[in-house]
Structure 1
Amino acid sequence: MTDRRKFLKSTIFGGLAVSTSSVSGLACSTKPSPKKPIVISTWNHGKEANAAAWEVLSNKGRALDAVEKGVMVTEADPDNATVGIGGFPDRDGNVTLDACIMDENDNCGSVAFLQNFKHPISVARKVMEETPHVMLVGEGAKRFALSQGFEEENLLTPKAEAAWKKWLENQEYQPEINIENHDTIGMVALDENGHLSGACTTSGAAWKMHGRVGDSPIIGAGLFVDNEVGAATATGLGEFVIKICGAHMIVELMRQGYSPQEACEQAVNRIVKKYPNDYKNLQVGFLALNKNGEYGAYSIHKGFNFAVRAHDQDDLIDAGHYSG
């Protein structure tokens, strides 16, 4: 009897071991490999920005270099009214720029309320690499930029100046829910080595009060990167992104197991729930990318789109939106 019990026991557990091994082997063989490299960015202008970033990524370059090069395209476009040169000024006629950048090692740099420098994203990277600080603002940021060899130039184009003078006739400040080439370009990328980085740059809300800073240069609000999990960026009315620490929230939700799409939806729902009297008159959109190259996007209102570039993809996609 004892020998029979031993035989049955060894047979059962031996069979379980074979079965478990087979299932595990099947799971491993069918698990998709990460989609990399890949870069995603906000709004229509993301297509051109992604093309520049892709030149870096497709040559096995670093995600950090890709996102800087990518958003610089938008910063240098004088026809874009919301980023870099050509950006609409504040109510006093000054073009003031905000930007931040973050790499796979949690290093980050930021500038805010910066005037007369076309590429604030590159100044932000220098803050990250050359100083013990994360953020420099205003006159201090200007002095630092000059010390690093950046050249001043007038960023107020004739087109933007004409729009400002037109605004002065009534001086009404009401951010539009969606405008062509909205107020930010946010970009996040995953490179061939599996590393994430992100960049975010803007001229901020048109006709804002002099000195106003939005979410774009704030690590954790307009941009956040965690190389173990994913990265996220934001666009829209920055005050409400700041209030919920939007990008950081999305990355932490991904850490908890949410997909990038689900995490973006949760962040939008948080704004809607917390600010029921405000959300109908403002736009906020979120964009996220996880370590596997999966992405998601969501906004409060219809109209937010984003660009995706990978080996098998070069698309402009309309994001989902809250329908309550």
Structure 2
Amino acid sequence: MKRRNFIIKSTLASAGISLFSNSIFAFNIKDIHKTSKMIQNKSNIFPLSIATWNFPNASKRAGELLAEGASALDAVEQGVMVEEADIRNTTVGKGGAPDRDGNVTLDACIMDPSGNAGAVVYLKHTSKAASVARKVMEETPHVMLAGEGADLFAIQQGFEKEELFTDDSKAAYKEWLKNKEYKPIINIENHDTIGMLCIDENGYLAGACTSSGLSYKVNGRVGDSPIIGSGLFIDNEIGGAVATGMGEAIMKSVGSFLIVELMRQGQSPQTACEEAINRIIKANPNYKEFQAAFIAVNKKGEIGSHCIQKGFSYVKYQDGKNETILSSYNF
């Protein structure tokens, strides 16, 4: 490859590099691109991590990995794993609330910058649902595995078989069995998902979404969290979106895909999230009885978030700072 000589005193001076007078340096064009990238990263926009709800430990884990140069895909996987392993979180991973028949089942999906995706549903024997979903994406020609097949695949891939019930979740289930009443509690029962979006230092996007689903759901129920386009959607040229809340309403609207398409048409992440929520409200007369929420980010690093009911928040890790931000809402 031919090399071009440039007198680049002014260019490098803008990057904070001093030159001796009258010096001439030979640079490959790739070096100039690298210098430009370094200057761009000084804007402190990238890398960036956002996650649903107030999960600062998960966001911090992802953000610190990104700051060390990790890929967006590695960051989202490791970030959501923090909550999958936290038995105090009764809506994700180990310790998640069971269905009405006493089964703790997990759902998750993951997407990489190339548009590849993997998902698992009704996973019963490992807490690392997002990681199993990544293996589906990378090690099989499929997008989704379910039930016994998903569990068998996880074991074949080296995941340890676990008991997902904990003492606390068993006690809560026994208490629920006394009355067997089921009515979602806004921002508590619907606080059922961690969805995460990351942009790495190269500007690549990835996302993950993992959940144990609604507490005391009907056996076999699957929500939006593992459904590509509903719980999560990534387009590396445009941006990404992830959802939380009442999965049935989100699935029927294909909300995350909708938000990315609205951003493709020129809308900001904020207005796109608002439109997605407005469509859910229009389609569901009982919208005041449940929560649905979205977060989104575009390629510029602009963030949007909107929900039906007051109380939803998201956490952002950027430039070494972890920040919880209350979402805008309709009611």
**TM beyond 0.5:** yes
How does the TM-score come out when normalised to structure 1?
0.88
Tell me, what secondary structure is at the counterpart of 1:194?
coil
Give the conservation status (yes or no) of the 8 Å contact 2:230–2:257.
yes
Structure 1 residue runs of 4+, over 2 Å off? none
Inter-CA distance 40–278: structure 2 relative to 1 (3 Å threshold): same
- Give the unaligned 5+ runs of structure 2: 1-41
Using the TM superposition, give the Cα deviation of residue 312 of structure 1 relative to its aligned residue in structure 2, in angstroms.
Answer: 5.6
Quote the residue 2:110 is aligned against.
Answer: 101
Q: Over residues 55-99 of structure 1, what are the superposed CA-to-partner deviations in whole Å (9 max), with x where a residue is unaligned?
A: 220012100000000000000000001000010000111100000
The answer on 1:79 being equivalent to 2:73 is: no
Quote the residue 2:322 is aligned against.
Answer: 314
Q: What percentage of aligned pairs have identical amino acids? A: 58
Q: Over residues 208-236 of structure 1, what are the superposed CA-to-partner deviations in whole Å (9 max), with x where a residue is unaligned?
A: 01110000000000000000000000000
Quote the residue 2:125 is aligned against.
Answer: 116
Q: C-alpha separation between the residues in 1 aligned to 2:274 and 2:201?
A: 28
Residue from 39, 43, 46 that aligns with 2:53:
43
Map 1:120-199 onto structure 2 (within 5 A): 120-179=129-188, 182-199=191-208
Residue from 74, 92, 101 that aligns with 1:65:
74
Inter-CA distance 269–34: structure 2 relative to 1 (3 Å threshold): farther
Tell me, what secondary structure is at the counterpart of 2:324?
strand
Q: C-alpha separation between the residues in 2 aligned to 1:266 and 1:312?
A: 31
How does the TM-score come out when normalised to structure 2?
0.86
Quote the residue 1:235 is aligned against.
Answer: 244
Greater Rg by CA: 1
Instruction: Give the number of aligned pairs.
Output: 290
Give the conservation status (yes or no) of the 8 Å contact 1:43–1:181.
no
Q: C-alpha separation between the residues in 2 aligned to 1:40 and 1:86?
A: 24
Tell me, what secondary structure is at the counterpart of 2:45?
coil
Quote the residue 2:256 is aligned against.
Answer: 247
The answer on 1:293 being equivalent to 2:308 is: no
Give the conservation status (yes or no) of the 8 Å contact 1:33–1:292.
no
Quote the residue 2:269 is aligned against.
Answer: 260
Q: Over residues 169-221 of structure 1, what are the superposed CA-to-partner deviations in whole Å (9 max), with x where a residue is unaligned?
A: 11111111111891000000111001000000000000001110000000000
Quote the residue 1:221 is aligned against.
Answer: 230
Give the conservation status (yes or no) of the 8 Å contact 1:177–1:282.
yes
Using the TM superposition, give the Cα deviation of residue 102 of structure 1 relative to its aligned residue in structure 2, in angstroms.
Answer: 0.0
Q: C-alpha separation between the residues in 2 aligned to 1:86 and 1:139?
A: 20
Give the conservation status (yes or no) of the 8 Å contact 2:44–2:318.
no
- Give the unaligned 5+ runs of structure 1: 1-31
Q: C-alpha separation between the residues in 1 aligned to 2:189 and 2:226?
A: 22
